[in-house]
A and B are shown apart, each in its own frame.
Chain A
Amino acid sequence: MSDNTMTSDKHGAPMNQQSVVRLLRNNGGIVALLIILAFNALFTPNFLQVQTLFVNISQVATIAIVAIGMTVVIATAGIDLSVGAVMALAGALAPLIFQSEFGTAYPVLGLIIAFAVPLLVAALCGLFNGVLISYLNVQPIITTLILFISGRGIAQVLTNGNLQTFSNPSFSYIGTGKILGLPFQGWLALLLACIVYWIVTRTIFGRYLLAVGGNERAAKLSGAPVRTVKIGAYVICAFLSGIAGLIVVAINSASDAARNGNLMELDAIAAAVVGGALLQGGRAPIFGAILGAVIIQLVKYTLLANGVEDEVALIAKAMIIVLAVYVQQARKE
């Protein structure tokens, strides 16, 4: 699944008996997706309806967007636990801005700032993570734990722990709008995936990213700016998390700092891993992450729609991760 999203344009492997097995193993994600879809088509009531599609797209978009960022970070052999907290922080800031005196006085300017400032703050969070990791050599899991804890705290302090409700159709467009009949955030996720895919495969940053993750010492000795690359990865991840945070707020027309992005880090890591990212770094299957996000979302939906409780759904999610890791191991031979 991941190999397709990487740079293997010309894989002239000859067909033999084993190739079917290999095909299955390398495209396990697609196969899993088809099985889930088939199951739902047969057993889940009202699954083949446009409404179901809308619900799933609008819910999967945020996971997918964060998973793209997570994949970039994992490509450096890092991890980012702070994505959920960054979502909460960005999500808390936006309504504060467009509901402020300034925001109500100048609605257009207020709206622009309500997008710009939260995303800037999110990017700064990524900068904070990246600097600590690359200059102070703090382990990524510990570094991002700092914002994992404090980021949501800051968001709650900013909102006094209250639920902020609002009515702002312009802002809510990113969570409720439709283009060609499909939810806006679905298109946005796709667009972001394309952009990041382009960055990873076509730019010098992307090449360095994979080199740093694949063999940091070799990359450094070949002149790669290792620190800058790592910082860049965390900034991208945090920025995308910020976008996801704004979308969640827009969907609900309310900002709840306590719940926005809660447990998102787990969904995003799971989606990235299911999509073929290797935790030891060196690989960035961006569209794999989208596929992983879709699978996670559909499993959640399937269980929910068939009356299985949320708690049980969590166990199912864990099973998927185990399966994905198993397939990865098998592929390494």
Chain B
Amino acid sequence: MAPSLIQKTERVVQSLVTMKTIDKAFSGVPALRSAELEIVPGEVHALIGQNGAGKSTLIKILTGVYRKDSGDIRLRGEPAMISSPGEAQKSGIATIYQELNLVPLRTVTENVIMGYEPKMLGGLINWRAAHRHTREILSRFGIDIDVKAPLGSYSTAIQQLVAIARAVSLDASLVIMDEPTSSLDDREVDILFGVVRELKNSGVSVLYVSHFLDELFRICDRVTTMRDGQTVGTRKLTDTTKLELIADMLGRNIEEIEAAGMTDFGGAERQLGETLLEAKGVATGPRLHEFDLTVRRGEIVGLGGLLGSGRTEAARALFGVDALTKGEIRLKGTTWKPGNPSDAIQDGIGLLTEDRKAEGIVPDMSVRENMTLALLPKLTRNGQIQTGRERELVESFIRALGIKTANMDQPIRELSGGNQQKVLLARWLATEPDLLILDEPTRGVDVGAKLEIQAIIRSYVERGFGVVLISSEFEELVEGADRIVVLQDGYSVTTLQNPGVTEDMLVRAIAHHHEAGHA
């Protein structure tokens, strides 16, 4: 696999990948300035940094998606010219993307062996060998599933593991994982980490990109931090702390951050206004059975629960996306039957969706057009958009939210994830909804933007509006919400009242009901 290892024995540990002084600019704007990365064989190497720090760009250069402007890339000590994703794969670099690039309708086996099918006489595919081969690979990672079933019939976690299995079966020496845990639940994360350790033991290196810093300490050996297109440094995780990493990413010192707290909701006392929304016994489909919720003006109500507990479905029900099969919603004192999102918007509800890419941004449209999309009816006179007003408004939101964009006409797809999220948040703030539902508003967003977004949410409720906050991060709920409604298998099971809620209490609330089931 690595003949150069034998030839050059003068160094004890031959690095697998060395990237040095990598420069890359997009239409004149530098994305990477002299960035560096070194990965040794058999290590799990974390790559962290705020959105827009240059992580993705660096990885895309390594995997041949982008071309570097200048700099030096070596694989096993040899200068490497990686000019396409295919070449990267041939050189033993496999990438597991956030959005899996597999074919859900085909079987597990087909997905694993695609392009490398074992052939019989006559060029036909030897399916028995293929299935056996696939089962063997998967069993290495402790996965025992029906390989003849369509991939799409399995959970995201299994699909991800299949993607990794495919990579390993192609003799990858480096597996790049981009936010692999963002859609996994705790148990699935454990399975994934088992696989990562298995990879490490067999000498495969893993480049692990994640916003969840706690995870890094569980499985990574070293961590490289990036900021503003530059490599800040590489640390051993055994002799570093979470605070140090955050300080590296933000370019601040540790004392400053300790003083500010880890989330930015603040803790001031608030007085609550009248009841804004009351949902009783709401059910929609197979995932939401009985959901109660009350939101008052000036209040942030958190929705806690595991993935699949019905949090997102509850949000969709309140926003009129899914029709109610049971239950009643009262909005501002009168019975309210949500028909579709545009009705909900008119009646003063906003929903920031969980899936930024699929349900949030319109990638080819500009920052301006994305931001005003939900506000258009109010910006229009006789069908014509008042562009002057539109530009003023967008300008003020870009300034108020600190959105980093070349100008408001830049396509939103060119912005970093955190800035895209801020644009979408602005889309809803601009409509000034009485009730703003935020589904994972800080997911996949770097620490800096996260604090800013949390501060924006806080100042919004202080103006007398209500917010429903859905989050997988216990810390965010505990510090951010005035009350937390805990969901379990489509039922709202309990409510925790702040101040006084701790992460432990929330975890116990979720776990307890999980064991007890539903009466």
Q: Cβ of B444 < 8 Å from any Cβ of A?
A: no
Cβ of B374 < 8 Å from any Cβ of A? yes
Interface residues of A in 175-234 (CB under 8 A from B): 202-205, 207-208, 210-211, 214-215, 217-225
Is A222 a contact of B363 with CB atoms below 8 Å?
no
- Taking the complex as formed, is A9 at the interface, i.e. its CB lies under 8 A from any CB of chain B? yes
Are B369 and A211 in touch, CB under 8 angstroms?
Answer: yes
- Inter-subunit contact A218/B383 (CB<8 Å): no
A203 touches B409 (CB 8 A): no
CB atoms of A9 and B409 under 8 A apart: yes
Contact between B376 and A208, CB atoms less than 8 A apart: yes
Alpha-carbon gap, A218 to B406, bound state (A): 23
The smallest beta-carbon distance between A11 and chain B, in angstroms, is: 8
Q: In the bound complex, how far is the Cα of B375 from the Cα of A223, in angstroms?
A: 9
B362 touches A219 (CB 8 A): yes
* Alpha-carbon distance A215/B364, docked complex (angstroms): 9
**Chain A min CB distance to B320 (Å):** 10
Residues of chain B lying within 8 A (CB to CB) of residue A13: 27-28
Kindly state whether residue A10 has any CB partner on chain B within 8 Å: yes
A14 within 8 A of B: yes
Residue contact A202 to B385, C-beta cutoff 8 Å: yes
Query: With A219-B373, A221-B341, A224-B342 in contact, do A203 and B362 touch (Cβ < 8 Å)?
Result: no
Partner of B358, one of A14, A208, A214, A217: A217
Assess the A202–B380 pair: CB atoms within 8 A. Answer: no
Which chain B residues border A203 with CB–CB below 8 Å? 380, 383-385
Given known A-B contacts A207-B369, A207-B376, A223 and B341 have beta carbons under 8 A apart: yes
- List residues of chain B with CB within 8 A of the CB of A222: 341, 345, 373-374, 427
Contacts of A49 on B, CB cut-off 8 Å? none
Name the interface size band of chain A: 20 to 34
A9 to B374, CA, bound (A): 23
B409 touches A7 (CB 8 A): yes
Say if the beta carbon of A329 comes within 8 Å of chain B.
no
CA distance A11 to B364 in the complex (A): 15
Residues in chain A near residue B365, CB distance under 8 A: 210-211, 214, 282
Q: Nearest Cβ in chain B — how far from A4, in angstroms?
A: 14
Q: Does any Cβ of A come within 8 Å of B321's Cβ?
A: yes
Q: Which residues of B contact A202 (CB under 8 A)?
A: 384-385, 387
CA distance A224 to B342 in the complex (A): 7
Shortest distance from the beta carbon of A21 to any chain B beta carbon, whole Å: 13
Contact of A283 with B by CB under 8 A: yes
Q: Which chain A residues border B27 with CB–CB below 8 Å?
A: 13-14
Are A214 and B362 in touch, CB under 8 angstroms? yes
A160 at the interface (CB under 8 A from B): no
Is residue B351 contacting chain A, with contact meaning CB distance below 8 A?
A: yes
Q: Which residues of A contact B351 (CB under 8 A)?
A: 221
A218 proximity list for chain B (CB < 8 A):
353, 358-362, 373
Interface residue? A51 (CB, 8 A) = no
Residues of A within 8 A of B345 (CB): 222-223
Taking CB atoms, residues of chain B closer than 8 Å to A215 are 358-359, 361-363
Q: Determine if B142 is an interface residue (Cβ-Cβ < 8 Å).
A: no
Is A137 located at the chain interface by the 8 A CB criterion? no
Instruction: Give the chain A neighbours of B376 by CB distance below 8 A.
Output: 204, 207-208, 223-224
Query: Complex: how many Å from CA A194 to CA B383?
Result: 17
Q: Which residues of chain B (345-392) have a CB below 8 Å from chain A?
A: 345-346, 351, 353, 358-366, 369, 373-374, 376-377, 379-380, 383-385, 387
How far is the CB of A213 from the nearest CB of chain B, in Å?
9
**Smallest beta-carbon distance A42→chain B, Å:** 37
Let me know if B359 and A214 touch, CB within 8 A: no
Q: Of A7, A9, A204, A214, which is within 8 A of B383 by CB?
A: A204
Return the chain A residue nearest B431 by Cβ: A223
Question: Contact string, A1-21, partner B, CB cutoff 8 A, digits 1/0?
Answer: 000000111111110100000
State the Cβ distance, A224 to closest chain B Cβ, in Å: 7
Per the bound structure, the CA–CA distance linking A203 and B390 in Å amounts to 12
Which residues on A sit within 8 Å (CB–CB) of B377? 204, 223
Find chain B residues with CB under 8 A from A8 CB: 409
Determine if B407 and A217 form an interchain contact, defined as CB atoms under 8 angstroms apart: no
Shortest CB-to-CB span from B277 to chain A, Å, is: 18
A223: chain B residues at CB < 8 Å are 341-342, 344-346, 373-374, 376-377
Q: Do residues A224 and B373 form an inter-chain contact, with CB atoms below 8 A?
A: yes
For residue B125, give the distance in angstroms from its CB to the closest CB of chain A. 30
- Report the minimal beta-carbon distance from A102 to chain B, rounded to whole angstroms: 36
Distance of A238 from chain B, by nearest CB (Å): 20
Smallest CB gap from B411: residue in A? A8
Q: Please name the residue on chain A nearest to B362 by beta carbon.
A: A214
Cα of A224 to Cα of B379 in the assembled complex, Å: 14
Most interface-central of B358, B369, B373 (chain A CB within 10 A):
B373
Chain A: residues with CB nearer than 8 A to chain B? 7-14, 16, 202-205, 207-208, 210-211, 214-215, 217-225, 282-283
20 cross-chain CB contacts under 8 A:
A7-B366, A7-B409, A8-B409, A14-B28, A16-B28, A202-B387, A203-B384, A204-B385, A205-B383, A210-B362, A211-B373, A214-B362, A214-B365, A215-B359, A217-B359, A218-B358, A219-B373, A221-B353, A222-B341, A224-B342
Ranked nearest first, the 7 interchain pairs of A and B with the lowest CB-CB distance are A223-B342, A214-B362, A222-B374, A222-B373, A223-B345, A14-B28, A215-B362
Query: Given A11-B409, A223-B373, 19 other A-B contacts at CB below 8 A?
Result: A14-B27, A14-B28, A202-B384, A204-B377, A207-B373, A210-B362, A211-B362, A215-B362, A218-B353, A218-B358, A218-B359, A218-B361, A219-B362, A222-B345, A223-B342, A223-B345, A223-B376, A224-B342, A282-B364
